[in-house]
Structure 1
């Protein structure tokens, strides 16, 4: 049986130390988007009470070579046996996932995030000092995968 509190504590400790990120975006044949490429950037972590705020600034290079600046703000919250990941849009948090431990080094969303007809799922893996977060987005016009590495 997985000691969920221990996994959450290990994740929380690592989240607070994150300074960099890299990611790859890919899509499948059923996708109507052109969200393909890779990015790399910096993460500024700050505390707001019991929350951790991730301010991400990266450069995304599309598959056609075009370079685009990218910014995101995420909010992590710690629950007793889970963590919450929210996207800060216009200062209003949007719940993306509650993630719960499924192994000593892995967490999975409790329920998918629904946005219109799109369904978002996520897996989070702990590797030494690195965190790997893999999102999939499936919908009528989307078949995408976002693969993040944080360290």
Structure 2
């Protein structure tokens, strides 16, 4: 099994290095008190190190009511022995989101949920032929949200 996990991680890493574009859709479900709904499409600048990648994402987010907002995020991916770590770089301070572990040859899931206050974040990442799909779920007293990313 370890060699299967190693192959899945190596395949994911090889794909992450090549990412140049992304899109995402934000939606919320029953019980959500947030208004985070809409979609974005933009570019990804990748700065690659030996075992780390930094994604600088830039896009225009179009809210479901038509408002547009400029969106910029920085994420750091780190290659580990049995997983790939994803951190959000807020003001260059890393916030651990997930360690994604292979569960199939083309599918990853968080090793543990990310907890922020009373909110719990979970994620799965799927490798498709021409894209990577990252789906976040956020559940809490005021949140029931889904962020659906596509990277290519």
Q: Mapping of 1:2-151 within 5 angstroms?
A: 3-151=4-152
Consecutive unaligned residues of structure 2, counting only runs of 5 or more, are none
Q: CA deviation at 1:50?
A: 1.9
Write the distance in 2 (CA, Å) between the matches of 1:50 and 1:133.
20
TM-score (norm 2): 0.97
Q: Which runs of 4+ in 1 moved over 3 A?
A: none
Number of positions where the alignment pairs a residue of Structure 1 with one of Structure 2: 151
TM value normalised by structure 1? 0.97
Tell me, in whole angstroms, the C-alpha distance in 1 between the residues paired with 2:100 and 2:52.
Answer: 15
Do 1:14 and 1:129's aligned partners in 2 also have CA atoms closer than 8 Å?
no
Shift of 1:49: 4.1
Structural RMSD (CA): 1.0
